């Protein structure tokens, strides 16, 4: 399978704990996006990487959230001191460079439940 | 503010019938639109996209129509099948963005056998 992969698929944690999610984009896709999706809603943009550079962050990305893409390949999203309101599906998407290649391909997501 | 919305939260159709899912968008500067299908517990799956310089695009059993005058987007599914049952999202890409997508809240399509 050469699609976007995410790990873990599910995570249950207690409030106050830190969690880290990983995304492996489609090979040679240099653009990578993180979105958050709550039940019944569409995905909401969190942040965007072009290669290893984080070029845009949403207001939704509070100080407790940090994302990295150190080598321009896989990316991690860390949430510190989790809160119950962080419970959601965290989706990663990737796309190649080029104005005519705008389709974002999504991974299966990581579902987070904060107790 | 920017928003992408859907007129019908749930659409129920008979197997074999055609389905039409509608979407309204508010950002006239958006230059790219895309439809995704999302099944329970899975990530959004690309269906079809269209650029703002087009008003119609066809795929396999699916057609997307774009009406920029009224800022309306629709997805037509021909001969709807049980496997089409899912939540469908439209999304727009503002031309001045980093290619982030702005999603609506989705329409659930239920296909009756």
Convert chain B into a string of H (helix), E (strand) and C (coil). CCCEECCCCEEEEECCCCEEEEEEECCCCEEEEEEEEECCCCCCEEEEEEECCCCEEECCCEEEEEECCCCEEEEEECCCCHHHCEEEEEEEEECCCCCCCEECCCEEEEEEC
pLDDT confidence of residue B105: 76
Q: Report the share of chain A in percent with pLDDT over 90.
A: 82
pLDDT confidence of residue A28: 86
* A45 in B contact zone (CB under 8 Å): yes
* B1 in A contact zone (CB under 8 Å): no
Please tell me the distance in Å from B53's CA to the nearest CA on chain A: 13
* A25 in B contact zone (CB under 8 Å): no
* B64 in A contact zone (CB under 8 Å): no
Under the banding of pLDDT at 50, 70 and 90, the label for residue A39 is confident
Regions of chain B where pLDDT drops below 70: 1-8, 97-98
Cα–Cα dist A114/A15, whole Å: 6
Q: Which of B99, B101, B105 sits opposite A40 (nearest CB)?
A: B105
Could B93 and A56 be called an inter-chain contact, meaning their C-beta atoms sit closer than 8 Å?
no
B65 DSSP β-pair partners: B56, B74
Q: Are A61 and A44 in contact (CB under 8 A)?
A: no
């Amino acid at each position: 399978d050469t699609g976007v992969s995410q790990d873990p698929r599910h995570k249950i944690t207690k409030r106050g704990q830190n969690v880290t999610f990983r995304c492996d984009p489609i090979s040679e896709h240099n653009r990578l996006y993180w979105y958050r999706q709550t039940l019944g809603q569409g995905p909401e943009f969190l942040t965007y990487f072009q290669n290893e550079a984080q070029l845009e962050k949403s207001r939704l990305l509070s100080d407790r959230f940090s994302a990295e893409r150190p080598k321009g390949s896989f990316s991690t999203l860390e949430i510190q001191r989790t809160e119950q309101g962080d419970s959601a599906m965290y989706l990663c998407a990737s796309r190649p460079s080029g104005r005519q290649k705008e389709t974002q391909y999504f991974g299966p997501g990581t579902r987070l439940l904060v107790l | 503010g920017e928003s992408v919305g859907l007129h019908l939260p749930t659409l129920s159709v008979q197997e074999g019938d055609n389905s039409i899912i509608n979407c309204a968008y508010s950002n006239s500067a958006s230059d790219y639109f895309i439809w995704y299908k999302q099944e329970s517990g899975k990530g959004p799956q690309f269906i079809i996209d269209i650029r703002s310089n087009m008003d119609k695009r066809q795929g396999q059993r699916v057609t997307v129509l774009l009406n920029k005058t009224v800022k309306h987007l629709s997805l037509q599914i021909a001969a709807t099948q049980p496997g089409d049952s899912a939540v469908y999202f439209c999304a727009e890409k503002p031309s001045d963005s980093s290619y982030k997508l702005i999603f609506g809240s989705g329409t659930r399509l239920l296909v009756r056998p």
